[in-house]
Amino acid sequence: MIIPPAMKKTTEARPPSEDLIRLLSEFDLSVGELALGLREIVLKEAPAAVEKMFRVYALVFWYSITGRMTDAFCHVVIYPKGVNLMFNRGAELEDPDGVLVGEGKIIRHIKVRRPEDLKNPHLRKFIRAALKHAKSIARERELAGRTKPPSARRRPLK
């Protein structure tokens, strides 16, 4: 069976946009490198994810299965002194070792402060779990008739 190139799982993450690099240049180089390293991990685990970004008190890259923020499964949040990998529904993920940080009702995160932190196997484990959970929620919504799958939505005329 021949697999189209767009469906193959790639070993390399897509390169960052010029806008992303420009926004990261406002941070210390070591923080920018952590952010890019974490971004690469997310995109290797979820190569089909839609990546978007915004800036508030921190710079945020968010990853979604549909392109809608409500379907985002994780965020890379860049602060002046470090980076967090945030999980929108982290409180709903199994975490028997207590790795995820946070006490709110829904969001949890893992802190990334040093290059060695990028080797933490929990990063990939929770990205995969969050992605699986997001797909499950989207499927449940679709079955309940609350949303259409991305392929069935109308695209705006250009």
| pLDDT tens by residue, the chain, 158 residues | 343 344 345 567 899 999 999 999 999 999 999 999 999 999 999 999 999 999 999 999 999 999 998 889 999 999 999 999 999 999 999 999 999 999 999 999 999 999 999 999 999 999 999 999 999 998 888 888 765 555 555 455 44
| pLDDT attached to residue 50 | 95
User: Using an 8 Å Cβ cutoff, are 23 and 60 in contact?
Assistant: no
Q: pTM to 2 decimals? A: 0.82
pLDDT tens for 104-130 read 999 999 999 999 999 999 999 999 999
Q: Euclidean distance between the first and final Cα of the chain, in Å?
A: 36
**Residue among 16, 8, 52, 54 at smallest CA distance from 32:** 16
Q: Which two tokens stand for residue 72?
A: 């985002």
Using DSSP, state whether 87 is helix, strand or coil: strand
**Residue among 113, 112, 132 at smallest CA distance from 123:** 112
User: Using an 8 Å Cβ cutoff, are 133 and 93 in contact?
Assistant: yes
- Cα Rg of the chain (Å, integer): 16
HSE value, Cβ hemisphere, 13 Å, CA-based, for 15:
4
